[in-house]
Amino acid sequence: MGAYIDHFPREAKLIRSAFYTSFIMLALGGIFGVIQTLHRTDVVRFIDSADYYTVLTAHGVFMVIAFTIFFLVGMFTWAVTTSLERPLEDMSFSWLWFLMMTVGAVITGVTILLGFVESVDVSADVLFTFYAPLQAHPLFYIGLVLFVIGTWLAGADWFRSWWAWKRENPDERIPLPTFMVLTTMIMWYIATLAIAVSILGFLLPWSLGIFDHVNPLLTRTLFWFFGHPIVYFWLMPAYMMWYLLLPKFAGGRLFSDPLARVVFILFLLLSTPVGIHHQYMDPGIAEGFKFIVMTNTMFLLLPSFLTAFTVVASIEHGARQHGGDGYFSWLKSLPWREPAFTGMALAGLMFAAGGFSGMINAGMNINYLVHNTLWVPGHFHLTVGTAVALTFMAGSYWLIPQMTGRKLASKPIALLQVVLWFVGMTFMANSMHRSGLIGIPRRTAEPQYQGFEFEAALGSVGELNAQLAIGATLLFLSLTLFLWNMLITAFNKSAESPGENVIPTPLSGPDDSPAVLDNMKLWTAIAVVLVILAYTLPLASIISRGGLLGPGGDAFPVSIDYLTLFAQVALESAAGLV
């Protein structure tokens, strides 16, 4: 065994291209991020407030669609080829999906950026959620469609590798990394069906002028059908890195392969039937449906708790192999000087906080307090903005040398970079959560609302804004250091063996788990049934009242509380029985 590039030079090139593209997207997203924070906190203002939504849309789309997913496809290609120990089946097909994703991302990206050019009548200031009635230029949707089809083909590529491997190894368990890729992709196929229907069936024809209007509640609901699972589409590659790489870096082995499989299956089953927890405040969806969704969401905490347990146990095992002891002093035996380890561990720690703010979001009644306030961006800068982004950056310090055969330009700067991200995000997320609690809204260039005094019990608005601006500046600095390190590494003359591309075998391996865990057809079927159960009635009720194409009639009809009705009937019949 040597570095990845020694075994799979052709795949390494594809993975490198995916990673570099993702870094370019990260750079663009980062620039817009710092611009908008300094603008809304009134620290530095050089854009017009009217352009704020162009900036915010660019920040969102470049970060959470392009950066994350380009990185994911690189990561998953690494996982499948490494664990099946076989090259991709057909490189020209692989380059095709990569090309499709790139063309799609460029079309959507350029359409958004043209919003800055007043002389051209093209824009897409619709934020990353593209809720109707906000309308983008058709090219925005067309780019997205191409991008998503690219990811579908990428998934097909990995499935193809697995099928080919299975023919040669009919009796073997699916290797864990490939298992993670397959379950994630099945979830993605189910989730993206909704966004395909929403874009191709409604939003694109509407933007082309074929329909006069759409049903905003319907397209929103279809968006969140996809929009919740997408957050796990970002998270699952990060989890994969925590399961496969963190134990390795800590000098140990994964505690339990079966538990990891259970976690990924739970994500496949539960990620989609919870999307309505983003719509607790939407009128037109009955409270009963929202209650069911809240229950599902609370179950969905389980795989993350299992992950916290398994990953920390594996790290502890690693530390104890290297002289660590005591209840907590084993923490000192961890390789804190390794940026890849430290970055991922800090990302995990921050995710614990992000997970807790997620639980608060998920409570139907508390959600009313935080929805549409700065609390929510606080939540997702800890989750996608740190658990995912910092893990990807930290992982790159190991992955890029694997893919290039070149030495990492500067380890100390890499270490500084991951710590800076942690510190910057501490300021920013703290400020955002607290600002949200006093009612400061998200998604606005002018949060000050003249004449309105926010209750300052949790800190003055000035102090919160200062923290936000300091946080964003540190993050921008951290990002610059990361990109600089990657750029120099890519052109580094000194080639150095980057270490072995091996994933240590788990302490409890696949043979300790029931074979049914590997039954992809079964889990897909259950996942589909759960989605049907969760969405048929809400969608039917939205369509029956608002129509497929919306107003004309009432856009947001009165809601009927089915569950209350159901509970009433049940109670009355129970009373009748007694």
277 annotated active-site: no
Distance CA 300, CA 297 (A): 5
Helix, strand, coil share (%) of the chain residues, nearest 5? 75, 0, 25
Helix and strand numbers (H, E) in the chain are 21, 0
Judged by CB under 6 A, which of 44, 200, 208, 359 binds ligand HAS?
359
Could you say which residues in the range 89-148 bind ligand HAS, by CB under 6 A? 129
Is residue 381 part of the annotated active site? The answer reads yes
349 is an interface residue for ligand HAS by CB under 6 A? yes
Closest CA to 279 of 317, 331, 223, 233: 223
Closer of 228 and 442 to Cu ion (Cβ): 228
Q: Is 320 a catalytic residue?
A: no
CA 486/CA 127 separation, integer angstroms: 29
Catalytic status, residue 442: yes
Q: Are 207 and 200 in contact (CB under 8 A)?
A: no
What track of x and - describes contact with Cu ion for positions 196 through 235 (by CB under 5 A)? --------------------------------x-------
Respond yes or no: is residue 39 known to be catalytic.
no
Residue 342 to residue 331: CA distance in whole angstroms: 12
Identify whether 443 is a catalytic site residue.
yes
Choose among 184, 342, 176: nearest CA to 254.
Answer: 176
- Separation of alpha carbons 19 and 398, rounded Å: 13
Nearest residue relative to Cu ion (C-beta):
228
Map residue 185 onto helix, strand or coil. Answer: helix
HEC letters along 458-526: CCCHHHHHHHHHHHHHHHHHHHHHHHHHHHHHHCCCCECCCCCCCCCCCCECHHHCCHHHHCHHHHHHH
Considering beta carbons, is residue 208 or 352 the nearer one to ligand HAS? 352
- Cβ 310 to Cu ion shortest distance, Å: 23
Tally the residues of the chain: 578
Q: What is the CA radius of gyration of the chain?
A: 24
300 contacts ligand HAS (rule: CB under 6 A): yes
- From Cu ion, ligand HAS, none, which one binds at residue 304 (CB under 5 to 8 Å depending on kind)? ligand HAS
Count of residues touching ligand HAS (by CB under 6 A) = 35
Strand partners, 373: 441
Cα gap 540→474, rounded to integer Å: 48
Catalytic residue among 243, 442, 476, 545: 442
* 308 touches, from ligand HAS, Cu ion, none (C-beta below 5 to 8 Å by class): ligand HAS
The CB-of-148 to Cu ion minimum distance in angstroms stands at 19
**Which of 361, 386, 478, 541 is in the footprint of ligand HAS by CB under 6 A?**
361
308 interacts with ligand HAS by CB under 6 A: yes
Shortest Cβ 275–ligand HAS spacing (Å) = 10
Residue of the chain from 44, 352, 525, 526 that contacts ligand HAS (CB under 6 A) = 352
Q: Out of 379, 433, 434, 545, which residue is the one contacting ligand HAS (CB under 6 A)?
A: 379
Site of interaction with ligand HAS (CB under 6 A): 129, 231, 234-235, 242, 277-278, 297, 300-301, 304-305, 307-308, 311-312, 315, 345, 348-349, 351-352, 355, 358-359, 361-362, 367, 371, 376, 379-380, 383-384, 388
Site of interaction with Cu ion (CB under 5 A): 228
Active site residues: 228, 232, 379-381, 442-443
